[in-house]
Structure 1
Amino acid sequence: MDKRKYYVSIQSKTIMANREDAAYELEIEATDEQLDQLHQYFEFMAAYDDKSHFRTMIPGIPYHEDNENDKFDSYLHKAYRLIHETGTDQTKSFIESNHILR
């Protein structure tokens, strides 16, 4: 399986083949299957982010008791784990030095 370099933005949940296409935070070298998995994690994150928006309209529901936020956080962690696994040395170093996978 061939790996290709991609440029990832966690903030905008995008994966680009060309670094000039948009701003990005991290670089990975991934197979098509790994790329598909990361796209799926980003889709789940976006869906749960949309669902958690409604919690902000209801007072009295704390963040730590919100199922949608828990699921968003779970997929964010999975995305970072996959990015670390497929990341360049600089990407791995960034994730490790910021203790993101703790």
Structure 2
Amino acid sequence: MFILNDILKPLQNAFSSTNLGRERAHWFSYAILAFIIPFTSSISSNVLRCLNTLFGLNINKRRFYTFMASNKIPWHNLWAALWHLIPDPLSDGRLMIALDDF
């Protein structure tokens, strides 16, 4: 689980430093964990159930769904942070991209 900490910390830093931004950063991290833990399917209601059951969070349903649909999640910053987590994305000077249409 150490690698998750290395990945989630930069993603949390992509959020603003206000109290609400810090709260969103924590919720975002927990939501990512809920998506990748094979507890149940990743539809929103099951993610909320996972957050409550596995992490012991007591999240109000309305606040959770508002967060999930929020336009305040800094996707641009998150994608930049994820890109910078890749140590060397080039192979022989070229960017390798794999597509899967499964």
Alignment TM-score, normalising by the size of structure 1: 0.31
| Bigger Rg over Cα | 2
The structure with the largest strand share of the pair is 1
